[in-house]
Amino acid sequence: MKGHKLLLIALASMLVGLTACSKNNENAKTSDTPSSPPASTASPSASEESPDPFGKYDPPLTLSTVKIFAAADKFEPGETPEKNTWTDAILKDLGIAIKLNWSVVGDEPGGAGEQKLNITIASNDIPDIIPVNAKQLKQLVDNNMAEDLTDVIEKYASPLYKKFLASNGGLALKTATFDGKVLALPQTTAGIDDAPMIWIRKDWLDKLQLPEPKTMGDILAISEAFTNRDPDGNNKKDTFGLGVGKDLYNGALHDVTGFLEGYHAYKNQWVEDGSGKLVYGGVQPEMKTALAKLQEMFKAGQIDPEFGVKDAGKVNESIVAGKIGMFYGAHWNAFWPLPDAYKQDPNAVWKPYPIVSADDKPAIPSIGLGAGAPNYFVFKKGAKHPEAIVKLANYYADKEYGWDTGGIDLSFHQPVPNPNGYVRWKFAPVFATDPEQNINIYRGVKAVVENNDQNALKNLQVKDNYDNYTKFTKDGDKTQYATALWSGPQNSGLSVLDYYLNNKLGQSDKFYGSKTDTMIDKQSTLEKMQLETFTKIVMGAASVDSFDQFVSDWKKLGGDAITQEVNEWYAANK
C-alpha cells in the first residue's frame, strides 16, 4: 500500500499543479548513451572562485547519471531521456552536459530500477550523480563512495533551495548526515503531508443532530450513531460507523493511524519516554488502549465484519454506495475516493477534521521526515566539481518554484492542458521539490478568496486552483469538486494541514538514522508480527491481553536489541 499511497499523492499533484515531465515508454528502456562533450579538466572559472548558485561552467563539464522511470511515464514527441528540455537548458545555462549511463523502467520498490542500481553500486561503477533510496545511501556511505557536500551546500545553495532544506526542522538533511557530514542531497517533501485526518459525512451529522468531533468520545458516539440510527434513511441497519481496510495502518486510506494517535499511540515511530531515551511506539500501553476501543467497535458492528479481506478499493465501494460515514485518511482523499462518492450522491457532504484526543492532552498527528522517493542524490566520491550537484538543485528549484525569484519557467513544467499525461520533471538530473508547495497553494487560494489578494495569483499553482475552486463554487462546474475539497479556504483537506501547522501539531519519528544491524535482520519479521497481532485483536480473534504477549515476543525477537541500538544512535546525535 505504501507504493499505492505515493501513486495517489503523485496523481493529486498532477491534477492540481503545474509540475512534471517524461516520454513514451519505449524510450525509457535500458539504452546506450550517445556521445557527449568530454569532461572539463579546466580550472574553475571566475564564477567558481566567487561562489555563484547559478554560475556557468566555461568550458562545459560533463556529469554522468542514471534514470529510473515509471511504467506509466509518457514523454512528449521529440524528447528522450538523453535529450530533452532539462538537459538542453542545463547545458545552455549552467554549462553542464548530462551524460546518461543508462535508463530503465521500473520505479516501484524492488523493481527493475532498484535492482539495476544495486548492481551498479555492487560493481563500483556508479555515475557522478546517483539517485538512491535510504538503504543504498547507507551502502555508499559505508563503502566511502559518497562525496561530502557539507561545504558546497553552505557556499552554493541558493536562498530558495536552502529554504527547502530547512523545512520541517531540517530533518530531511539530517537523514543524509553521517558523522556530521552531509553525504547526499535529500529529495525534499512536506512532512506535514503525511498527517492523518478524519473524513466524516457532515450531512449525516446534521441529520442525526450530532456535534462535530472535538474528542475521541465524540468519534465513538458518531460511529455508534452512524451504525444504529439509520443515517441514510432506508430503514435498514446497513451502514458502518468507521471505514477500515485490511491493511489496517499501511495505506493512509481507511487507515487507523489517526485513530490510534487519538490515544497517543504511534504504531511505527520511535518516541521519547520522558527520561531522554527513545521507545518504540508500537509496544507502549497506549497502543493496547486504542486497540481495545477498536475491538469494541468491531464487536458492536461499527466496522465491517469483512474488513480483514477488503482492500482500499473494496472499502471505497462501500463509501461510494453510502454505507460508510467516517474514515481516517489524508488530504489527498479529496481526489480519491471522494469524487466518486460525489458523483453517486451530490448531496453527500464530506468534511475533513483534525484528529482528536481521548484526554486533555492534544492529539498530535504523525508526520514524515521530509525525504521522499528516490530519497537522495549522491555525488560520487572524488569526482570533480561536487558543487555542481547543488547548482543543479538550485536550478530545478528556481525553474519549478521560483515565483518570487522570477526564475519560474513553464516550459519546464508539464504541458497545460495535458490530455496525454506527458511529464517532464523526471528528466532533471536532480529534483528539489518545494516542501511547502501544497500549503502555499492553500494559503494563496485562501488569501484571494477571503482578502482579494491578487498578488497571490502570481503563483500559477495558486491561480490554477483558485480558478477551479471558483468554477465549482460559482459556476457549478461539478468536475472541479475535488480541487475545491482539496484546496478550498474552508473545510478542505489542506485546511486541516494548515490547522496543524498553525498550532504546531506534528510529530516526526525521533529515529531518522539508517537501519541498525538488528533492524536489517529482524525488522520485517517484527513488523509482520505486529500487523498480524493488531489485526487479530481488532477482529476479536485474539484477546486484548494478547497485546502483552506480543510485546514480550517483540522484545525477545530483536526489539530490545534494536532499542539499544536506536538509543546509542540517539545519544550520539542529540
3-state percent breakdown (helix, strand, coil) of the chain, nearest 5: 45, 15, 40
The C-alpha cell at 26 is 519505449
Distance (Å) of CA 339 to CA 332, 333, 479: 11, 9, 9
Tell me the per-residue pLDDT of 452-478, one tens digit each, with 9 for 90 and over: 999 999 999 999 999 999 999 999 999
pLDDT at 217: 98
Tell me the per-residue pLDDT of 47-94, one tens digit each, with 9 for 90 and over: 445 799 999 999 999 999 999 999 999 999 999 999 999 999 999 999
| CATH for 197-353, options being 3.40.190.10, 3.40.50.300, 3.40.50.1970, 3.40.50.620 | 3.40.190.10
Q: How many Å apart are CA 69 and CA 29, to the nearest integer?
A: 9
Residue with grid cell 540517539, as numbered in its chain: 570
Would you place residue 401 in the very low, low, confident or very high pLDDT band (cuts 50, 70, 90)?
Answer: very high
Q: Among 553, 527, 548, which residue's Cα sits nearest to residue 537?
A: 548
Query: Which residues, including other chains, have CB under 8 Å from residue 88's CB and lie 6 or more apart?
Result: none
The C-alpha cell at 147 is 562525496
Least confident of 187-191, 226-230, 252-256, 558-562: 252-256
Q: How many Å apart are CA 134 and CA 119, to the nearest integer?
A: 16
Supply the angle between the helices 285-299 and 216-228 in degrees, to the nearest 10. Answer: 20
The C-alpha cell at 511 is 529515529
Are 481 and 472 spatial neighbours (Cβ–Cβ below 8 Å)?
Answer: yes
Diameter over CA atoms, the chain: 82
Distance (Å) of CA 319 to CA 207, 314, 330, 420: 18, 9, 15, 30
Tell me the per-residue pLDDT of 136-146, one tens digit each, with 9 for 90 and over: 999 999 999 99
CATH class of the structural domain 16-190+370-412 = alpha beta
Q: How many Å apart are CA 35 and CA 399, to the nearest integer?
A: 27
pLDDT at 303: 98
Would you place residue 372 in the very low, low, confident or very high pLDDT band (cuts 50, 70, 90)?
Answer: confident
Tell me the per-residue pLDDT of 301-337, one tens digit each, with 9 for 90 and over: 999 999 999 999 999 999 999 999 999 999 999 999 9
Q: Within the chain, which residue ranges are assigned CATH 3.40.190.10?
A: 16-190+370-412, 197-353
Please state the rounded mean pLDDT for residues 114-135: 96
Would you place residue 22 in the very low, low, confident or very high pLDDT band (cuts 50, 70, 90)?
Answer: very low
Alpha helix (H) residue ranges in 167-244: 171-175, 202-207, 216-228
Does 31 score more than 60 pLDDT?
no
Instruction: Tell me what the pLDDT averaged over the chain comes to.
Output: 91
pLDDT at 49: 54
Q: Which residues does residue 279 pair with via DSSP β-bridges, in sequence order?
A: 271
- Apex 421 CA angle, 416 and 427, nearest 5: 90
pLDDT at 8: 39
pTM above threshold 0.95: no
**HSE (side-chain half, CA atoms, 13 Å) at 244:** 27
Are 394 and 161 spatial neighbours (Cβ–Cβ below 8 Å)?
Answer: yes
Does 357 score more than 80 pLDDT?
yes
Are 370 and 186 spatial neighbours (Cβ–Cβ below 8 Å)?
Answer: yes
Does 480 score more than 70 pLDDT?
yes
Share of residues in the chain with pLDDT > 70 (%) = 91
Please state the rounded mean pLDDT for residues 487-498: 98
Please state the rounded mean pLDDT for residues 274-278: 95
Please state the rounded mean pLDDT for residues 207-223: 98
8-state DSSP, 282: G
- In degrees and rounded to multiples of 5, residue 506 shows phi and psi of 170, 135
Share of residues in the chain with pLDDT > 90 (%) = 87
Does 182 score more than 60 pLDDT?
yes
Tell me the per-residue pLDDT of 83-121, one tens digit each, with 9 for 90 and over: 999 999 999 999 999 999 999 999 999 999 999 999 999
What does 407-439 look like in DSSP terms, one character per residue? ---GGGSPPSS-TT-B-BBTTSSS----TTHHH
pLDDT at 417: 80
Would you place residue 532 in the very low, low, confident or very high pLDDT band (cuts 50, 70, 90)?
Answer: very high
Q: How many Å apart are CA 33 and CA 243, to the nearest integer?
A: 50
Q: How many Å apart are CA 197 and CA 328, to the nearest integer?
A: 6
Please state the rounded mean pLDDT for residues 418-441: 94
